[in-house]
Amino acid sequence: MDAWGQVVALLDATGSFFEPAQTAFPGAGAAAWAEAARLDPGAAGPDGSWRLDFRCFAVSRPGGRWVLVDAGVGPAGGPAAGWAPVPGRLPAALGEAGIDPADVEAVVLTHLHEDHTGWTRDAAGRPFFPEARYLVQSAEVAALDRADPVWDWTVAPLRATGQLQEVAGEHRLAPGITLLPTPGHTPGHQSVLVAGAAGPGGGKRGRDVLVTGDVLVHAVQLADPAVPYSHERDRSAARASREELLALAVRRRALLATAHLTRAFVEPPDPGR
């Protein structure tokens, strides 16, 4: 693919969360749940369960190179195995999209949770994207407990190979690709703005795309950004980041690229709705 800025959704896994939706999103009102059902009907599982996708995104770069955002749940032996539907199918999804792991020049890790870092290495312990630098906010690394399995799975090995790049604050990765700090879900969470993304099939320039990471994990938070998620590290900061990111999406008319909704791309909320 020659056109730069094409954003491709890569589905790594689909499963049910280990908590019911009402538990995972405490305080959501009936109107927010009804709107969430309209926005993402696939998320409603049986008996109030939450069905979610585990998704990565690839952004094309000149010369057949790629930037990957997040690395999915990973292989069967990865840190996500305790609760996520491993093994993920990212290797197959990359092949279906015509992307060779060796052509991935950068991997942006929105945060260091196990369902976003799984394919930083393969089952044999080798970096899955051998030519890539892996970008993460320095605040995220600083906050990660050394006993967290992601430390030994991702941080320590990538430091050893010199592939881990820690950034601080807003960071221009490449023309049209900017990393935006969106803390709260974790201390150093970041999202990604792809400005003027290419149209379908690599056609003429199109809309901005905001890859949200876990600022937004369920459509109920799109319906009501004040709704917290039970596994946010700092609910107040997460809400502020969510509201700011959605406001940015509205201002720029950006499409939202979501990690866990059962729809890869969704429209930002209409302020007049």
When pLDDT is averaged across residues 111-133 and rounded to a whole number, the result is 94
Q: How many CA atoms lie within 13 A of 224 on its CB side?
A: 18
- Please tell me the pTM assigned to this model: 0.95
Residue 1's pLDDT band, with cuts at 50, 70 and 90, is very low
E-state strands within 18-176: 51-61, 65-69, 104-108, 133-137, 164-167, 171-174
Considering only the C-alpha atoms of the chain, give the largest distance between any 2 of them, rounded to a whole number of Å. Answer: 52
The residue type found at 247 is: A
Does residue 2 surpass a pLDDT of 80?
Answer: no
- Give the model confidence (pLDDT) of 84-99 as tens digits: 999 999 999 999 999 9
Does residue 230 surpass a pLDDT of 90?
Answer: yes
Lowest mean pLDDT among 3-17, 67-81, 167-181: 3-17
- Give the model confidence (pLDDT) of 11-53 as tens digits: 999 999 999 999 999 989 999 999 999 999 999 999 999 999 9
How far is it, in rounded angstroms, from Cα 122 to Cα 78?
A: 9
Does residue 7 surpass a pLDDT of 60?
Answer: yes
